[in-house]
Structure 1
Amino acid sequence: MSEHPRDLFGYGAVPPRAAWPGGARVAVSLVLNYEEGGERNVLDGDASSEAFLHEVVGAPPVTGGRDLNAESMFAYGARAGFWRVHRTLLAHRTPLTVHAVGQALERNPQAARAMAAAGWEVAGHGWRWIDYREVPEEAERADVARTVATIRRLVGRRPVGWYTGRTSPATRRLVAAEGGFLYDSDDYADDLPHYVEAAGRPHLVVPYSLDANDFKFLLVHGFTTADDMLGYLVDTFDTLHAEGAERPRMMSVGLHGRIIGRPGRIRALDAFLRHVAQRGGAWCATREQIARHWLATHPPRPMH
């Protein structure tokens, strides 16, 4: 309970000057969450099927059996949605960070090769797409190591970033103690990277977003049409762009192949990238690039 003391002050009224490359007002980080094949399934020893973030919102899980409809909706993300997102980002030449679930990547090495060929950063997202709150610490530590090894083997380099999403109290400490990570993104508390103490030393957090995120298509009272998401992304970017004239900010955009990769939604991503390019003043970067810039420009101070 004491591993994550709350900090409600942060940078306060005067955040640091980010000094993004090229004098950019906003660092834009696009993230694709690659989870398909790592979700709950009795075939993998789970007690029930997956009930979270698929098109039948609110449907209960099937206990002790398979939900073939849910499985096929997840499969769409790997079979079709991923490639639609891939084509869109390559057309815009936009950098991307992938939050990759180890088992999902293991089950689609073709996608892993495409990520590597595109030059995308591949960060760890757990071995399974599950809630780690009740997972024993030793099992979670082993999952971090297994995910690192799998990404290294399939993509060609180890991950330097991490995002579990549904963390345990020990997640950040385990990631920091592993020794090979520059940052984690299990945080939604700021518009800029910041340091926390983990495993007895300063640890960089590159915050993520659940508001500028396509998963709101699969929430009650969330996004319904591509215009809903596009309008929210544009409003977010324009606000940060205006604020960035004085104090540059960071914007994260969360994506999923099985969600934004649907034909009726992909226009939101395409049109947003066009808006960013036309407006100017943005540095589109991977989270690794943002982390390395922050570490060099705003190095950590001793915690004590």
Structure 2
Amino acid sequence: MSEHQRDLVGYGAEPPHAAWPGGARVAVSLVLNYEEGGERNVLEGDPASEGYLHEIVGAPAVVGGRDLNAESLFAYGARAGFWRVQRTLAAHRVPLTVFAVAQALERNPAAARAMAAAGWEVASHGRRWIDYRNVPEDVERADIAHATATIERLVGRRPVGWYTGRTSFHTRPLVAAEGGFLYDSDDYSDDLPFYVESAGRPHLVLPYSLDANDFKFLIVHGFTTADDMLTYLVDTFDTLHAEGADHPRMMSVGLHCRIIGRPGRIRALDGFLRHVAQRGGAWVTTRERIARHWLTAHPPRP
């Protein structure tokens, strides 16, 4: 149950029946990571530029200086990619959860307003998009509070979900102790939500995905074309759909404005949503709704 102990057993051979609404076989959670403007930059006092998850794969970070190419690649996500994703989701009339970096939202209030207008769930992705592994606990606590307040101010509703991505050992206890979060998603170990003990009480975890995730366009031996990602998403959904006849599952799809928002990649998202609609048996929903359902249908044991 501890957040620092490895659990290699989980639900085992007999996972709980999720009992998704409408008898759905798969709960599909689309997640858009909004990070542009929150990444590492010497203008923010960081020692180097951002060297992670941009189109110039393998390029080293610029130590002590700016990388204008990397900055413009991130800017694409906020300026163009976000709106392409927004139009695609509006066309399919499906909900979304945003993992929003607070500083990134501050840099583009129009995007924050669009998220609110669409009725999307905006979860917190931290104050900035950095690695918190060596950040002091008191600083991380303050960043959690700042991110929460910023998202509430910009979107009009406080976040109830959390995902840091590059966590410290303090992250989950700090999130649980804050008291206002229904769940965190800093985990990749299951196809269903589960509880851990954190801050002295049961805490809900909604696992995320790094395989059904567009970030694989930016790693060696990952996706190359939209068809690569579309095939993988469809194969994942169809497997979970088949398993869901007996044991309904959850499927997370990870998206990034600067990645899936490119013209040559957006077809993967569009094609996947078409496939899900045609196949049926899916509950396409936000992570907040999944969390509230799980807390009611499968409350933590005393």
TM range (shorter): over 0.9
Are the counterparts in 2 of residues 20 and 248 from structure 1 also a CA contact under 8 Å?
Answer: yes
TM-score (norm 2): 0.99
- What secondary structure is seen at the aligned counterpart in 1 of 2:289? helix
Q: CA RMSD in A?
A: 0.6
- Structure 1: gaps spanning 5 or more residues: none
| Count of paired positions | 301
How far apart, in 1, do the equivalents of 2:80 and 2:3 lie? 40
Are the counterparts in 1 of residues 31 and 96 from structure 2 also a CA contact under 8 Å?
Answer: yes
- Structure 2: gaps spanning 5 or more residues: none
Kindly provide the amino acid, as one letter, of the partner of residue 81 in structure 1.
G
Q: Which residue of 2 aligns with 1:209?
A: 209
Residues 87-106 of structure 1 aligned to structure 2 (within 5 Å): 87-106=87-106
Are the counterparts in 1 of residues 115 and 122 from structure 2 also a CA contact under 8 Å?
Answer: yes
How far apart, in 2, do the equivalents of 1:215 and 1:149 lie? 28
C-alpha displacement of 1:4: 1.0
User: Does residue 184 of structure 1 match 2:181?
Assistant: no
Residues 1-304 of structure 1 aligned to structure 2 (within 5 Å): 3-302=3-302
C-alpha displacement of 1:85: 0.2
C-alpha displacement of 1:89: 0.3
TM-score (norm 1): 0.98
How far apart, in 1, do the equivalents of 2:153 and 2:3 lie? 32
Kindly provide the amino acid, as one letter, of the partner of residue 273 in structure 1.
L
4+ aligned runs moved over 6 Å, structure 1: none
- What secondary structure is seen at the aligned counterpart in 2 of 1:98? strand
- What secondary structure is seen at the aligned counterpart in 2 of 1:173? helix
Residue by residue, what CA displacement relative to the aligned partner does 1:56-92 show, whole Å, maximum 9, x if unpaired? 0000000111000000000000000000000000110
Are the counterparts in 1 of residues 3 and 196 from structure 2 also a CA contact under 8 Å?
Answer: no
Residue by residue, what CA displacement relative to the aligned partner does 1:12-48 show, whole Å, maximum 9, x if unpaired? 0000000000000000000000000000000000000
Are the counterparts in 2 of residues 126 and 147 from structure 1 also a CA contact under 8 Å?
Answer: yes
Are the counterparts in 2 of residues 212 and 254 from structure 1 also a CA contact under 8 Å?
Answer: yes
Are the counterparts in 2 of residues 26 and 244 from structure 1 also a CA contact under 8 Å?
Answer: yes
How far apart, in 1, do the equivalents of 2:148 and 2:257 lie? 22
How far apart, in 2, do the equivalents of 1:239 and 1:271 lie? 17
Instruction: Name the % identity.
Output: 84
Residue by residue, what CA displacement relative to the aligned partner does 1:206-252 show, whole Å, maximum 9, x if unpaired? 00000000000000000000000000000000000000000000000
C-alpha displacement of 1:3: 4.8
Kindly provide the amino acid, as one letter, of the partner of residue 155 in structure 1.
V
